[in-house]
């Protein structure tokens, strides 16, 4: 059975926002533990609110949800729960995004956030990297200030990324801060081509010099760009259930993943914000496999791509590939 084959494949997850792994049950538990009011009476009420028409609909609820995260233990519990869930899906390596500005803006210290996340990463059996995202609806100066705050913790931060509202916030807005991050030895990624145009993917490559593209769906609108992504072997971290829930695709049968594979793009399958989009990594593989008729060979390519696109050292590469 397809489900068993997917479950048996060792995988890496390269596109996962840790705040997006906050399940409704933990949302309630932390709201109670911290005395934070939430506008929901039951877990079913919460799930009913997860009905999105676009990225911004989701982001409004996502930033509200993370308001229950206050202490180092909260960030530990959140991360530990995700890591256990990922391990259950036979994920061997994870590259986790976090959104420090979503927390420091509420008065939670940068050190509290990164302390809890890294303590959970250190306790886990699977290997990991940590990627700090800048919120693109905020200014580049605010991203610069966030990078300043991260300086004491750079030993624990492997890369920077760019997330939040894409339309109207092109990658070039963050040219300076990405160049500084590169100078600090950090890996670079950016969400591009989820709702924004193919030109944003080109800008992420040319202006930011990113090592991977997160999503990249709309790159398919530009033939020359597709040829370049294939030629340069750029990894795309695609998120099928996210795309469905945020109406980036109308139905899973219309998801571009098969077309991407057929072009020879280095695509991977990831869960993005699994607590909000209805499934962890295996559920994402199964959903596209069923809707697009992917076979075992395709699924094995996707899993292999996930390790090839990961920021692994030589010893880990040898272990996983």
Instruction: Give how far Cα 217 sits from Cα of 187, 188, 254, 314, Å.
Output: 22, 19, 12, 30
Residues in contact with ligand HPA, total (CB under 6 A)? 11
For 64, phi and psi rounded to 5 degrees?
A: -65, -45
268 is a site residue for ligand HPA (CB under 6 A): no
- In the sheet that holds 187-192, the strands lie side by side as 11-17, 91-98, 127-135, 159-163, 187-192, 212-215, 235-238, 266-269
Residue in 13, 77, 89, 194 binding ligand HPA, rule: CB under 6 A: 194
Smallest CA-to-CA distance from 214 within 250, 243, 185 is with 243
166 is a site residue for Zn ion (CB under 5 A): no
Residue in 17, 103, 129, 266 binding ligand HPA, rule: CB under 6 A: 17
Residue in 16, 55, 219, 269 binding ligand HPA, rule: CB under 6 A: 55
In angstroms, rounded to a whole number, what is the distance separating the alpha carbons of residues 224 and 257?
18
- Give least dist CB 240 to ligand HPA, A: 12
How far is residue 290 CA from its own chain's centroid?
23
- Give least dist CB 32 to Zn ion, A: 28
272 is a site residue for Zn ion (CB under 5 A): yes
Residue in 191, 218, 245, 255 binding ligand HPA, rule: CB under 6 A: 191
In angstroms, rounded to a whole number, what is the distance separating the alpha carbons of residues 100 and 98?
6
Residue in 20, 115, 274, 279 binding ligand HPA, rule: CB under 6 A: 20
242 is a site residue for ligand HPA (CB under 6 A): yes
- Rg over alpha carbons for the chain, rounded to the nearest Å, is 18
Give residues 77-136 in contact with ligand HPA (rule: CB under 6 A).
none
Contact 238, 249 (CB under 8 A): no
218 is a site residue for ligand HPA (CB under 6 A): no
Task: Name the closest residue to ligand HPA (Cβ).
Answer: 163
Question: How long a stretch of residues is the chain?
Answer: 321
Give catalytic residues, as residue numbers. 194
- Give least dist CB 7 to ligand HPA, A: 25
Residues that bind Zn ion (CB under 5 A): 272
């Amino acid at each position: 059975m397809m489900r068993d084959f997917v479950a048996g494949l060792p995988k890496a997850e390269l596109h996962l926002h840790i705040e997006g792994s906050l399940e409704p049950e933990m949302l309630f538990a932390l709201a109670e533990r911290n005395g934070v009011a939430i506008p929901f009476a039951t877990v079913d009420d919460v799930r009913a609110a997860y009905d999105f028409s676009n990225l911004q609909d989701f982001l409004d609820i996502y930033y509200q949800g993370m308001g229950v995260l206050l202490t180092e233990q909260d960030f530990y519990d959140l991360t530990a729960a995700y890591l256990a869930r990922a391990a259950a899906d036979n994920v061997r390596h994870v590259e986790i995004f976090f959104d420090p500005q979503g927390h420091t803006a509420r008065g939670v210290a940068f050190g509290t956030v990164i302390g809890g996340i890294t303590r959970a990463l250190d306790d886990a059996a699977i290997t990991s990297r940590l990627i700090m995202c800048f919120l693109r609806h905020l200014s580049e100066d605010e991203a610069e200030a966030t990078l300043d705050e991260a300086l004491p913790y750079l030993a624990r931060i492997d890369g920077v990324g760019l997330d939040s509202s894409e339309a109207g916030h092109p990658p070039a807005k963050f040219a300076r801060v990405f160049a500084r991050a590169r100078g600090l030895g950090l890996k670079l990624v950016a969400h591009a081509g989820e709702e924004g145009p193919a030109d944003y993917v080109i800008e992420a490559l040319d202006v930011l010099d990113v090592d991977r593209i997160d999503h990249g769906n709309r790159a398919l609108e530009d033939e020359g760009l597709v040829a370049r992504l294939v030629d340069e072997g750029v990894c795309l971290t695609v998120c099928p259930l996210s795309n469905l829930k945020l109406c980036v695709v109308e139905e899973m049968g219309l998801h571009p993943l098969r077309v991407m594979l057929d072009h020879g793009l280095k695509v991977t399958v990831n869960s993005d914000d699994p607590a909000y989009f209805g499934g962890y990594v295996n559920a994402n593989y199964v959903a596209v496999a069923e809707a697009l008729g992917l076979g075992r060979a395709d699924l094995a390519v996707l899993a292999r791509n996930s390790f090839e696109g990961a920021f692994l050292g030589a010893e880990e590469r040898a272990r996983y590939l």
